[in-house]
Amino acid sequence: MSALAALQTRMDYVFRDEALLQLALTHPSIAHEQGAPIQHNQRLEFLGDAVLQLVLTRELFEKFPLFNEGPLTKARAQLVNRRSLAVHGRALGLGEHLILSRGEEIHGGRDRSSALADAYEALVGAIFMDGGYDVARAFIQREFDLAFGSLAVIPVLDNPKGELQELLQERSTEAPHYHVVSTTGPDHDRVFECTVHHAGAELARGAGKSKKAAESEAAQAALERLRNEQAAR
């Protein structure tokens, strides 16, 4: 079995045009080293990024009907960030198949996260070109099935305070208010407890090693409470 055949087995997809797979694995450093207009994977990376965005947007749109654009955008960004895509690239073993310049090889290009993420996007683009949208979507669904299958709620939010304010603004123009209700522990190991209020009512509480962390925990708890109430209606 050839090296590319083994890779295609791991992918659960066999290319009709294997040249597309080779192109997806060709790092731009090859062209720079040769000083010639050699084709590399950046164009396929551009295409694959768009296909990933479309497929994952549809999955999030269908799986989380109660969420608006803001949280869905952040969830999608989390799924397709460079670190996440590099993890997928490593899982497929793309590094061992990359076609690199000698300099890139010497400097650890096969395990470089940016190279793996780019190659993964290029691979999606190559599948789309070789098999069409439905085939590419099936591949992406298989790849991200664990992430979607394990999600009972939207992926962890980077800014729960901002998300809470956005959610509450759908109901009124009043912003949420945060209050520190207690501070315990010695100076070197303080624990802050904070409440978040809206429209005169306490929504939730949170605790943390700083005021900011406590507010963030309170906002996250409030988000979960409000979304559970929405889901129960």
Q: How far apart are alpha carbons 86 and 111 in whole angstroms?
A: 9
Q: How far apart are alpha carbons 204 and 188 in whole angstroms?
A: 26
Q: Are 193 and 182 in contact (CB under 8 A)?
A: yes
DSSP class of residue 16 equals S
- Helix-then-strand count for the chain, H and E: 11, 3
Task: Indicate which residue of 59, 118, 121, 217 is catalytic.
Answer: 121
Q: Are 198 and 174 in contact (CB under 8 A)?
A: yes
Q: How far apart are alpha carbons 67 and 71 in whole angstroms?
A: 6
> Is 121 considered catalytic here?
yes
CA 38 to chain centre: 31
Q: Are 117 and 42 in contact (CB under 8 A)?
A: no
Q: How far is CA 122 from CA 20, 68, 224, in A?
A: 9, 30, 37
Task: Indicate which residue of 45, 49, 118, 163 is catalytic.
Answer: 49
Q: How far apart are alpha carbons 12 and 7 in whole angstroms?
A: 9
CA 122 to chain centre: 17
Residues classed as catalytic: 49, 121
